[in-house]
Amino acid sequence: MSRTAQRHLLTIDDLGVEGVQRILRLTDSFVEVSERRIPKVPVLRGRTVAWLFYEDSTRTRLSFETAAKRLSADSMNFSVGSSAVNKGESLRDTVQTIEAMGVDAIVVRHKSAGAPKQITQWLDASVINAGDGWHAHPTQALLDCYTLRARLGGIDGRRIAIVGDIKHSRVARSNIAAFTALGAEVVLVAPPTLLPPSLVPFDVTVSHSIDEVIGEVDVVYLLRMQLERMHEALVPSLREYTATYGLTAARARRLGPDTVVMHPGPMNRGVEVAADVPQMPNAVVTDQVRNGVAVRMAVLFDLLATEADPVFGDDGEETDA
């Protein structure tokens, strides 16, 4: 029997406030496991997770792989670049081939919004969205909420500025959903060309001046210019963008001592963020990456562990629940 009714993780909205809070609570336990001498527990022994990354990834993929290993799950490595996808195999045939070999979950990253949801129609396995087009990246939002909660003690009532290329950002969409669900006020800071065509679905305010907001927010969340998704020139030049919207060294000096600086990576130092800013004590970029592993352990556990599974033995020793 499944621990929760949830079978897939596709968006933050599907998870709901309670689901987000459940994952954040579970993450506390997996942070503790990750700090052990042997950071491994047997809770997903015998389960298999497959990776299906149709888009490049460093952090998300490595952190899902590490999370699965720490839970003792087996994983099926699949590299789109060297697979039969290059011979014209469809997404449906690919996932059904993987499922036929026996998997409990498929972690998917795809350039098309909605691909993970489509896959749920074809399989019995759990599907986890590791980023679909501009649409959603729920585990990034969960790790950001966890990191912020750890740094600020809570998210409710905080003011968070998300700065940059919001139009093309699945991270922004999932973070708006998660931050507002947890009671934060979100302000989007971007030129009009880098905002989504409609802001109606979002409970946010907008500013076109980073200088007006940086002194007044608790968090500055920076986004990369996602040039690979742009089909036209949306800013006059990257230099101009840095001058008007970048977190330059001069702007960083104007941040309050407790204002948190975040970035999901990959960073383009010198464009949206000055080279030295990610090393400032205010910046939590490394914490985001570290917490990403524990958050993904929590997500895999939440979807795949059953009531009968043993929980959290010390140093990998199995305990009876």
Cα torsion angle, 51, 55, 58, 63, sign: negative
Alpha-carbon 101 to chain mean position: 28
Tokens encoding 57: 């990834």
Tokens encoding 317: 């020793």
CA dist., res. 242 & res. 273, Å (int):
8
Q: Which of 224, 272, 283, 305 binds ligand NCD (CB under 6 A)?
A: 224
Under rule CB under 6 A, residue 264 binds ligand NCD: yes
Q: Which of 19, 42, 116, 131 binds ligand NCD (CB under 6 A)?
A: 131
CA dist., res. 111 & res. 54, Å (int):
7
The residue (of 128 and 171) whose beta carbon lies closer to ligand NCD is: 171
Query: Footprint of ligand NCD on residues 51-90 (CB under 6 A)?
Result: 59-60
The number of helices, as runs of H, and strands, as runs of E, in the chain is: 10, 9
CA dist., res. 197 & res. 244, Å (int):
21
- Going by C-alpha positions, the residue among 9, 2, 300 that lies closest to residue 128 is 9
Residues 6 or more apart in contact with residue 283 via CB below 8 angstroms: 260, 261, 262, 263, 277
Q: Which of 171, 189, 220, 299 binds ligand NCD (CB under 6 A)?
A: 171
Q: Rounded to the nearest whole angstrom, what is the least distance from the CB of residue 78 to ligand NCD in the complex? A: 18
Under rule CB under 6 A, residue 265 binds ligand NCD: yes
Q: Rounded to the nearest whole angstrom, what is the least distance from the CB of residue 268 to ligand NCD in the complex? A: 9
Q: Rounded to the nearest whole angstrom, what is the least distance from the CB of residue 225 to ligand NCD in the complex? A: 9
Under rule CB under 6 A, residue 170 binds ligand NCD: yes
Q: What is the arrangement of strands in the sheet containing 185-189, beginning at the earlier edge strand?
A: 204-207, 185-189, 159-163, 219-222, 260-262
Q: Rounded to the nearest whole angstrom, what is the least distance from the CB of residue 40 to ligand NCD in the complex? A: 24
The residue (of 19 and 164) whose beta carbon lies closer to ligand NCD is: 164
Residue pair 70/40 in contact by the 8 Å Cβ criterion: yes
Q: Which of 34, 120, 129, 140 binds ligand NCD (CB under 6 A)?
A: 140
Total residues binding ligand NCD (CB under 6 A): 11
The residue (of 8 and 224) whose beta carbon lies closer to ligand NCD is: 224
Q: Rounded to the nearest whole angstrom, what is the least distance from the CB of residue 226 to ligand NCD in the complex? A: 6
Judged by the rule CB under 6 A, the positions of this chain that interact with ligand NCD are 59-60, 131, 137, 140, 170-171, 224, 226, 264-265
